[in-house]
């Protein structure tokens, strides 16, 4: 097994080097046979990567503790599902997963039906193979997943209990799919530049891949937030930890790209900018990995400190310098088609502001993340840049972003006249201001909350109007029923309406953030058995404290009955889990969720006589975070779905070569 498992890595590396060289040779000698051989090599690499994954899964599932990785991250009593998911609990396993996804994507591109006969394929494959070679080198020589120990331990160290949660099964997978996915637009962009293709074929193909990568990145962050909320007992979902920031930055720049690419499609402008955004997004995924694996910054997510981060930094440097060189060498070609604007106020201008704010937000996050290093270099003081900084800097930028999002759909392409503006904005603006006034009357008096909710109301109205006007215009011509008309309107313009659904999802998430950040209530109370805690409209009766055993873990739990306005609404059971193979206990929170607010109870401490201390929080509007997240998924899938009307592969009009 040892030989087989290691062979999958080294054979994979040899095949990756072979495929890269043979494809490059095929491109330079215009020999299709060599290209085909390289493509065959990619399939063989996929077989190797799959075998490596299966080998590690097998070793983990059967608790083969003679392997360092298995012994480090699992123990025999661990449920099988967590034994398997331990594959991405450590450095080498997670990099193997990353490599597997990268190879999988490469095969999908190299053998894509839509890309058949396309001269860009060899170039894209070669660029992705360059990445694959790097990852196999790391797996083969730096972070080896299949190392045998000198002595076979009787028991493994076990998996960090924090990672034993359904959220943790899926969070890293989706995040890696997003990270790896951003390598695809990068490869497309580089291939297009090398081929001197300035048509919009590649941009249309890339857009789909970017939306998919963006969706996975969003899901990764959402699952991470959801996990933090239920598992850490802290009541929050986003801590602006360096590693969270590392996944948020490419999300912001990819979002900027998805918007600015529309200007390129419509007006053949911003080509240099769009390619810069793709390069930046790709580089930021590598930068994130550098942060997680190097230990230069303190993070709750950090893997064991190693020099692995350094390799990522070097690789990132090489790729970015290479990409900038290619970009500069084609600069004149790209600049030639620089277009023109009809007016200051138009959809195009609003997209520019959107890009300014999104990239500005990404810069703010980047700056805050690296500032401890900057400060240490300049003054020798490594300051901490935590939540208060990011909340203060990001809140106005992201709120402005929401405003642009609210306004943009009603602005016309080309130019918006004053009459047009008045017609489109008067009613939404009046309603939004009225809603803000109502909020103040109802007692919401914090300025940020009122402005934030006002902008969200504006956004919801403008988006509703978009749907309403579209349906109205359709019905005028087709006389269809409302629902049929809405269905056809949306399915015939999937990207536009999918995008609007995503916007509404973002608005719901913003509602959840503003509500929970500004109006959360929490208290810490010590009570005797039979006593109750009162918070807001809730009364929580503390009825029982007991202990149970689950496997090697001891669990102390409290039974509580919850009443709201005197009416019983349910039972909760907050727990403290003490692990047999882990020093730190963890909290399982007692949670009652509703659309209005979450009741969140943590068992903090107790005494022998049953007296216990609880942290009780009322977190308003948290449910909207998850509803909004769900809408983001629906909207993104709706936008990329191969519908009846949009299943048209863009026609390739770029440079023709003999090989494809």
Name residues contacting other proteins, limited to 396-435 (CB under 8 A).
Answer: 397, 412-415, 417, 419-420
Read off the tokens for 494. Answer: 């999937």
What do you get for the CA distance between the two ends of the chain, in Å? 39
Asked if 573 and 592 touch (Cβ cutoff 8 Å), the reply is no
Provide the minimum distance between the beta carbon of 357 and other proteins in the complex, in angstroms, as a whole number. Answer: 8
Closer to other proteins by CB, 121 or 243: give it. Answer: 243
Which range binds other proteins by CB under 8 A, 6-14, 17-25, 386-394, 449-457? 386-394
Read off the tokens for 475. Answer: 């019905």
Contacts of 158 (CB under 8 A, 6+ apart): 73, 74, 75, 78, 579, 580, 581, 582
Distance of CA 486 to the CA centre of its chain: 30
Closer to other proteins by CB, 469 or 544: give it. Answer: 469
H helices present in 111-200, as ranges: 120-137, 166-181, 183-194
Interacting positions 455-484 with other proteins (CB under 8 A):
466, 469-470, 473-474, 476-477
Asked if 460 and 431 touch (Cβ cutoff 8 Å), the reply is no
Q: Where are the beta strands (DSSP E) in 259-315?
A: none
Interacting positions 192-251 with other proteins (CB under 8 A):
233-234, 239, 241
Best CA proximity match to 393, nearest among 357, 420, 417 = 357
268 touches other proteins (CB under 8 A): no
Instruction: Give kind and range of the element (H or E) at residue 491.
Output: helix 482-492
Best CA proximity match to 500, nearest among 460, 472, 531, 442 = 460
Read off the tokens for 625. Answer: 């975070």
172 touches other proteins (CB under 8 A): no
Instruction: Give kind and range of the element (H or E) at residue 106.
Output: helix 91-110
Closer to other proteins by CB, 378 or 595: give it. Answer: 378
388 touches other proteins (CB under 8 A): yes
Closer to other proteins by CB, 125 or 350: give it. Answer: 350
385 touches other proteins (CB under 8 A): yes
Provide the minimum distance between the beta carbon of 371 and other proteins in the complex, in angstroms, as a whole number. Answer: 5
584 touches other proteins (CB under 8 A): yes
Best CA proximity match to 534, nearest among 545, 546, 525 = 525
Interacting positions 510-539 with other proteins (CB under 8 A):
522-526
Provide the minimum distance between the beta carbon of 576 and other proteins in the complex, in angstroms, as a whole number. Answer: 8
Read off the tokens for 87. Answer: 């594959």
Provide the minimum distance between the beta carbon of 390 and other proteins in the complex, in angstroms, as a whole number. Answer: 9
Closer to other proteins by CB, 208 or 495: give it. Answer: 495
547 touches other proteins (CB under 8 A): no
Closer to other proteins by CB, 149 or 272: give it. Answer: 272
Q: How many residues bind other proteins (CB under 8 A)?
A: 71
- Find residue 614's DSSP bridge partners: 525, 603
Say which residue the tokens 């046979």 belong to: 33
Closer to other proteins by CB, 483 or 566: give it. Answer: 483
Given 144, 382, 536, 611, the residue binding other proteins (CB under 8 A): 382
Interacting positions 560-579 with other proteins (CB under 8 A):
576
Asked if 282 and 402 touch (Cβ cutoff 8 Å), the reply is no
Closer to other proteins by CB, 194 or 514: give it. Answer: 514
The DSSP code sequence of 595-609 is: SSEEEEEEEEEE-TT
Closer to other proteins by CB, 372 or 654: give it. Answer: 372
How far apart (Å, rounded) are the C-alpha atoms in residues 76 and 54? 19
Provide the minimum distance between the beta carbon of 338 and other proteins in the complex, in angstroms, as a whole number. Answer: 8
Interacting positions 68-127 with other proteins (CB under 8 A):
none
588 touches other proteins (CB under 8 A): no
From residue 349 to residue 378, what is the string marking binding to other proteins with x (rule CB under 8 A)?
Answer: x--xx--xx-xx--xx--xx--x---x--x
Closer to other proteins by CB, 28 or 343: give it. Answer: 343
Best CA proximity match to 358, nearest among 279, 231, 250 = 250
Angle at which helix 201-231 crosses helix 271-294, to 10 degrees, equals 30
Distance of CA 630 to the CA centre of its chain: 13
Provide the minimum distance between the beta carbon of 656 and other proteins in the complex, in angstroms, as a whole number. Answer: 26
Given 27, 212, 393, 622, the residue binding other proteins (CB under 8 A): 393
Interacting positions 489-508 with other proteins (CB under 8 A):
489, 492-493
Provide the minimum distance between the beta carbon of 643 and other proteins in the complex, in angstroms, as a whole number. Answer: 12
Longest dimension (CA), the chain: 84
Best CA proximity match to 289, nearest among 305, 311, 312 = 312
Instruction: Tally Cβ neighbours within 10 Å of residue 378.
Output: 8
Contacts of 298 (CB under 8 A, 6+ apart): 242, 384
Provide the minimum distance between the beta carbon of 83 and other proteins in the complex, in angstroms, as a whole number. Answer: 26
How far apart (Å, rounded) are the C-alpha atoms in residues 221 and 629? 10
Read off the tokens for 215. Answer: 């969706």
User: Is residue 554 classed as helix, strand or coil in its secondary structure?
Assistant: strand
CA atoms within 13 A of residue 479's CA, in its CB half-sphere = 0
Closer to other proteins by CB, 550 or 605: give it. Answer: 605
User: Is residue 564 classed as helix, strand or coil in its secondary structure?
Assistant: strand
Provide the minimum distance between the beta carbon of 648 and other proteins in the complex, in angstroms, as a whole number. Answer: 8
Closer to other proteins by CB, 62 or 305: give it. Answer: 305
Closer to other proteins by CB, 319 or 471: give it. Answer: 471
Contacts of 552 (CB under 8 A, 6+ apart): 77, 579, 580, 581
Provide the minimum distance between the beta carbon of 616 and other proteins in the complex, in angstroms, as a whole number. Answer: 8
Closer to other proteins by CB, 301 or 657: give it. Answer: 301
Provide the minimum distance between the beta carbon of 345 and other proteins in the complex, in angstroms, as a whole number. Answer: 10
Provide the minimum distance between the beta carbon of 335 and other proteins in the complex, in angstroms, as a whole number. Answer: 13
Provide the minimum distance between the beta carbon of 601 and other proteins in the complex, in angstroms, as a whole number. Answer: 12
Return the ∠ at Cα 423 (arms to 417 and 429), rounded to 5°. 110
Provide the minimum distance between the beta carbon of 548 and other proteins in the complex, in angstroms, as a whole number. Answer: 19
Provide the minimum distance between the beta carbon of 234 and other proteins in the complex, in angstroms, as a whole number. Answer: 5
Interacting positions 280-339 with other proteins (CB under 8 A):
298-300, 339
């Amino acid at each position: 097994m040892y030989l087989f498992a290691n062979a999958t890595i080294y054979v994979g590396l040899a095949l990756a080097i072979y495929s890269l060289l043979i494809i490059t040779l095929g491109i330079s000698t215009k020999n299709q046979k060599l290209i085909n051989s390289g493509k065959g090599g990619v399939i063989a690499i996929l077989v190797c990567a799959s075998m490596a994954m299966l080998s590690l899964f097998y070793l983990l599932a059967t608790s083969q503790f003679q392997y360092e990785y298995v012994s480090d991250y699992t123990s025999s009593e661990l449920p099988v599902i967590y034994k398997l998911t331990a594959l991405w609990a450590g450095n080498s396993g997670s990099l193997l997963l990353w490599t597997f996804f990268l190879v999988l994507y490469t095969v999908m591109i190299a053998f894509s039906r839509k890309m058949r006969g396309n001269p860009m394929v060899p170039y894209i494959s070669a660029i992705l193979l360059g990445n694959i070679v790097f990852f196999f080198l790391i797996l083969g020589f730096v972070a080896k997943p299949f190392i045998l120990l000198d002595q076979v331990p009787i028991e493994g160290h076990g998996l960090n209990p924090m990672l034993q949660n359904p959220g943790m099964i899926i969070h890293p997978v989706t995040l890696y799919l997003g990270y790896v996915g951003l390598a695809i637009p990068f490869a497309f962009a580089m291939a297009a530049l090398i081929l001197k293709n300035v048509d919009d074929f590649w941009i249309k193909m890339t857009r789909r891949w970017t939306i998919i990568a963006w969706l996975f990145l969003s899901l990764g962050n959402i699952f991470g937030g959801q996990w933090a909320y239920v598992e850490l007992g802290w009541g929050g979902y986003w801590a602006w930890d360096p590693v969270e920031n590392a996944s948020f930055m490419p999300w912001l720049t990819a979002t900027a790209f998805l918007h600015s690419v529309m200007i390129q499609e419509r007006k053949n402008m911003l080509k240099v900018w769009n390619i810069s955004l793709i390069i930046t997004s790709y580089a930021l995924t590598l930068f994130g990995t550098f942060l997680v694996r190097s230990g230069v910054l303190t993070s709750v997510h950090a893997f064991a400190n190693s020099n692995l981060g350094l390799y990522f930094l070097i690789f990132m440097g090489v790729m970015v310098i290479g990409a900038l060189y290619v970009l500069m060498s084609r600069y004149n070609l790209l600049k030639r088609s620089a277009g023109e604007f009809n007016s200051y106020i138009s959809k195009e201008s609003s997209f520019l502001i959107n890009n300014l704010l999104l990239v500005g937000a990404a810069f703010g996050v980047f700056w805050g993340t690296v500032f401890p290093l900057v400060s240490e270099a300049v003054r020798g003081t490594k300051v901490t840049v935590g939540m208060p900084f990011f909340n203060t800097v990001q809140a106005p930028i992201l709120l402005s972003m929401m405003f642009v999002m609210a306004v943009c759909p009603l602005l016309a392409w080309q130019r918006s006249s004053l009459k047009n503006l008045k017609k489109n904005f008067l009613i939404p603006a009046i309603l939004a201001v009225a809603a803000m006034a109502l909020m103040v009357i109802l007692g919401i008096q914090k300025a940020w909350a009122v402005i934030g909710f006002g902008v969200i109301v504006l956004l919801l109205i403008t988006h509703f109007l978009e749907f309403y006007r579209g349906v109205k215009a359709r019905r005028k011509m087709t006389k269809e029923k409302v629902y049929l008309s809405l269905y056809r309107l949306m399915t015939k313009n999937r990207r536009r309406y999918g995008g609007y659904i995503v916007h509404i999802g973002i608005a719901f998430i913003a509602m959840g953030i503003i509500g929970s950040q500004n109006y959360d209530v929490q208290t810490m109370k010590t009570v005797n058995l039979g006593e109750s805690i009162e918070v807001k409209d809730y009364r929580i009766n503390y009825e029982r404290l007991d202990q149970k055993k689950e496997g090697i873990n001891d669990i102390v739990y409290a039974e509580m009955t919850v009443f709201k306005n005197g009416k019983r609404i349910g039972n909760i059971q907050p727990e403290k889990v003490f692990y047999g193979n882990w020093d730190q206990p963890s909290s399982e929170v007692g949670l009652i969720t509703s659309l209005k607010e979450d009741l969140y109870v943590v068992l903090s401490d107790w005494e022998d006589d049953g007296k216990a201390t609880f942290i009780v929080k009322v977190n308003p509007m948290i449910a909207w975070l998850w509803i909004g997240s769900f809408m983001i998924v629906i909207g993104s899938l709706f936008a990329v779905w191969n519908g009846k009307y949009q299943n048209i592969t863009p026609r390739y009009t770029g440079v023709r070569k003999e090989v494809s």
